[in-house]
Amino acid sequence: MNEHKLIVSTSPHIRDPINTRRIMCHVIVALSPVTIYALVIHGLSALWVLAASIAGAALGDFVMQKGRRIPVTLDDCSAILTGLLLALTLPPRLPWWVAGIAGLAATILGKQMFGGLGHNIFNPALVGRAVAFVSWPAYFATGYAKSAAIGIANTATHKAIEGTVDIVNGASPLAAMKYIYDGAAKAPQGLFASNYYKPLLLANPWGCLGEVSALLLILGGIYLLATRVIGWRITVTYVGTVAVLTAITGRDPLFYTLAGGLLIGAIFMATDYTTSPLARRGKVVYGVGLGVVTWLLRFWSNNPEGVMFAILFMNALVPLIDRYIMPRRYGSAGEAKEVHSS
């Protein structure tokens, strides 16, 4: 019998076509509208931040993998995604070399030091940002664009916002509101948090690259949900918890949802696979925890924003969550009870 060789392996014999690279590319696609829009609004300086951040992240991965004499995995696109995510959390006027250092820190300190993809405890992009944030805090506090007329908000609102921004020399909307609520600054006539809704959704020049349009972030999130790259649990529980607690505190929940890093954090950072819980129930606990910590930091710390540290803090709790919050196991209910039915 002339027989050609047959492959013998154990089941299953078919695989879902999904792979790591495809997942990373989906996230990059989801982020591309907001990235392009950020370049449009912020111009060339944003481009340098973006380029330096991605280059730094890719270089960090490359150098570490070469150094460890393991295969270089730039082709899985995860380092590029890390650099892109990092850039979107950086201020547009950040010197390019700071962005580059942040990129290097993201993949070297945030990822490869722990053993590479899948082994890190903290979100690499946020590790990179945290390094830049604590090393060069001044760049993060002020210096956001005084808007060139975007033409989105009506003139009166716009003037009012400009007035607020002026109070603290180019502060982000979150910072401006914090000064006002804390009594450090007086709100100009006619300014309400609700004045910010429209610019935050459609064209917000007073913030990091990724904060230019909440709408585009939400669209990106819908894309990730539709392609099943992420689930809804972390994002919805995170944003929901922040909104509810904000309302309870007597402040405007919609403003605090749209402003700052909450949406980019909740949609793109907190949902990072490696640094979030495995089980669905764990994801809910994680999302609620993120909301509580963000709320605490926003309203009771010296910083106007708390998303980055909230995520890093909750990242550290993920192993604990995974240990104690497991999926409900089939058959576990019947173990204690009488087994047969009547």
Partner 1 sequence: MGRTSGLLYRIRGGVHPSDSKEPSAGKEIRRIEAPATVTIPMRQHIGAPCVPRVGKGDEVLVGTVIGDSEAFVSAPIHSSVSGKVARVAPQPHPAGGEVLAVIIENDGSYRRDPNLEPPGPWEDMEPERIREAVRAAGIVGLGGAAFPTHVKLSPPGEYPIDTVILNGAECEPFLTSDYRLLLEEPDSVLEGIRIIMRAVGARRGIVAIEDNKPAAIKAMESSARGSGIEVASLRTRYPQGAEKVLIANLLRREVPSGGLPMHVGVVVNNVGTAHAIAQYFSQGMPLVERVVTVTGSVVREPSNLLVPLGTSFAHAVEACGGFTEPPGKVIMGGPMMGLAQHTMEVPVIKGTSGILALSREETGYSVPAEPVCIRCGRCVDVCPMGLIPTYLGSYAHNEKWDLLHRLHIEDCIECGCCTYTCPTKNPLVQLIKTGKAELARRKQQADRREAERREAVGESGEAGKDE
Which residues sit at the interface with partner 1, rule CB under 8 A? 1, 3-4, 6-16, 18-20, 22-23, 117-118, 231, 273-274, 276-280, 283, 326-335, 339-341
For residues 25 and 187, which CB has a smaller minimum distance to partner 1 in the complex?
25
DSSP track, 223-274: HHHHTTSS-SHHHHHHHHHHHHHHHHTTS-HHHHHHSTTHHHIIIIITT-ST
Q: How far apart are the first and last CA of the chain?
A: 59
Least distance between partner 1 and beta carbon 61 (Å): 14
Closest CA to 92 of 37, 10, 163, 135: 37
> Can you tell me the distance from the alpha carbon of 278 to that of 288, in angstroms, rounded to the nearest whole number?
15
Residue 92 C-alpha from the chain's centroid? 17
For residues 151 and 327, which CB has a smaller minimum distance to partner 1 in the complex?
327
Least distance between partner 1 and beta carbon 24 (Å): 10
For residues 247 and 278, which CB has a smaller minimum distance to partner 1 in the complex?
278
Least distance between partner 1 and beta carbon 95 (Å): 33
For residues 50 and 85, which CB has a smaller minimum distance to partner 1 in the complex?
85
Rg, the chain, Cα only: 22
Helix ranges restricted to H, the chain: 20-42, 44-67, 78-88, 96-108, 124-135, 137-141, 155-167, 173-181, 197-202, 214-226, 233-248, 253-258, 262-264, 280-300, 307-324
Residue with tokens 């696979």: 273
For residues 14 and 138, which CB has a smaller minimum distance to partner 1 in the complex?
14
Least distance between partner 1 and beta carbon 74 (Å): 15
Q: How many residues does the chain have?
A: 342
Burial class (CB in 10 A: 0-12, 13-18, 19+), 73: middle
> Can you tell me the distance from the alpha carbon of 135 to that of 61, in angstroms, rounded to the nearest whole number?
22
For residues 134 and 333, which CB has a smaller minimum distance to partner 1 in the complex?
333
Least distance between partner 1 and beta carbon 327 (Å): 4
For residues 186 and 328, which CB has a smaller minimum distance to partner 1 in the complex?
328
CA atoms within 13 A on the CB side of 128: 39
Least distance between partner 1 and beta carbon 8 (Å): 5
Least distance between partner 1 and beta carbon 142 (Å): 38
